[in-house]
Chains A and B, each alone.
Chain A
Amino acid sequence: MGANPFFRWSYVTGQWGQIQGDLVQHIELTLVAVAIGTVIAIPLAVLSWRYRILRTPVFGFASTLYIIPSLALFAVLGGVIPGGYVPPHSWFTAEVALVGYTLLILIWNTVAGLNAVPSDAREAATALGYSRTAALLRVDLPLALPYIFAGLRVATATVIGLVTVTALIGLGGLGQQITYGFNISYNTPIIVGLVLSIGLAAIADLLLVGAQRLAVPWSRADRRARIGR
């Protein structure tokens, strides 16, 4: 097995330009998917939380998207979108599917967060003369933020993993390293893709935790109180 060692460092130094390009594409695909997913999911979550009648269709739609295998969704969308199986149009295929996967996670967590808002807080807002919309923007959503951030963390990690699968429609970011290694039965590129994906997910998670601390400064005090109980 001299030809295929577990890891060959010279591959990384020799192919660094390519690896860097794949990494950048991975980050782009992830950022766009999570950003669009958030913009779509939060209003849908608020609507289905406020109007119960919307809950079944919204959750049904998001759950269906979530259950469809990623590979199948890429295949189906690629057939619908003209030229959707190969770059550059497979970008749309990939992003539509990736956004689809974030929806259930983000909607579910946002609704859970809104449901967890203490009724005291809402009653206090009403007593202070807040309209429903003002209460939503200034009381309910801020108090739901810890749940929304939890959803963002899960969604981001999920998307980073799924992006690799888009290698089968000519994209893939770090997935390119994985399929390349598989095609020529060479461990090193696969491990490069694996390690960098995990590293990317870890860094993204740390950034989101940091963002949460800035956005929800009161949650740390709250956590201390909960542990002390």
Chain B
Amino acid sequence: MSFLDRLCDWFTSGANWTGSNGIPVLFGRQLELSVAVVLTALVIGGGIGVVFGHTGRGGLVAVNAANAFRAVPTLALLTLLAIQPSISLKWGGFLASWIALTALAIPPILTNTYVGMREVDADVRDAAKAVGLTGGQVLRRVEAPLAAPFVMAGVRTASIEVVATSTLAAYVSYSDLGTYVISGLNTQNTVLSVAGALLVGVMAGLVALGLGLLTRAVTPVPLRSRLRLRIGGGPAVAAAET
């Protein structure tokens, strides 16, 4: 029986679609974890990026700190949190994975938000002030809409990384699609690992597609024609200019 046959068998076997280790349950758990992580990172990273970007002070420090944070191995954070008795079993292992993955998702969102805020033309900002907008109004009506595509690029990068990395959560405490991958690895069952990897790929693809549509929706209409160029790229932060 060829590898592809066995893979097809795995996907068409009814047993793999039911129960607490079935595809729908584990798919849902991974999606839940990823959404919680990205939303938390958006609040924290986006918030810090907006504050630094709006005031224009100390931003480089924040961006560099965020970049340094990228070097933190997620596996170390996951395992460290998962062996703390006060955290490990909370919410069925969710808490440890949530905190560790949020740390991973903050840097791309923070950096892109900051860059987006700084990309707002100084003349536009001055004009907004000149017509009498307060600082808060400048932020809400001018800076936020213009920075939105950048923020979304950060959210997209972070989301794909989080979906991919949340498989590691299964190694420590939280069962999701990573459970297939790790069981496959431990038992040298390539079919199981590949099936898990494919399911994660499907989720990453769906998330990327959904966020692409959302990005279009939050981008001011006159800027939409430029969107394709920017969204098409891979890792959004080249950091060449910082």
Residues in A lying within 8 Å of B, measured CB to CB:
1, 4, 59, 62-63, 66-76, 78-80, 85, 104-105, 107-109, 112-113, 146-147, 150-151, 153-154, 157-158, 160-161, 164-165, 167-169, 174-175, 178-179, 181-182, 185-187, 190-191, 193-194, 197-198, 201-202
Contacts and interface: CB of A to CB of B under 8 A. Distances in A.
A150 B75 CA distance: 25
B80 A78 contact: no
Question: Lowest 9 A-B CB distances belong to which pairs?
Answer: A79-B190, A72-B197, A201-B71, A75-B193, A182-B79, A194-B76, A69-B164, A164-B73, A150-B240
Contacts of B197: 68-69, 72-73, 75-76
A191 B73 CA distance: 11
B71 to A, nearest CB: 3
Contacts of A78: 185, 190
A104 B235 contact: yes
Interface in B41-56: none
Interface in B193-241: 193-194, 196-197, 200-201, 204-205, 208, 232-235, 237-240
B234 A59 contact: yes
B22 interface: no
Nearest to A59: B234
Given A69-B181, A182-B79, A197 B72 contact: yes
22 contacts: A1-B85, A59-B232, A67-B201, A69-B164, A71-B181, A71-B185, A72-B200, A79-B190, A85-B185, A104-B234, A108-B234, A112-B238, A113-B240, A154-B237, A157-B67, A161-B70, A164-B75, A178-B73, A178-B76, A193-B73, A194-B72, A197-B71
B193 A76 contact: yes
B165 interface: yes
Contact of B83 (A70, A151, A185, A202): A185
Which bucket holds chain B's interface residue count?
35 or more
**Chain A binding surface SS class:** helix
B235 A75 contact: no
Contact of A150 (B71, B168, B188, B238): B238
B75 A167 contact: yes
Contacts of B185: 71, 74-75, 78, 85, 168-169
B182 interface: yes
Contacts of B194: 72, 75-76, 79
B234 A175 contact: no
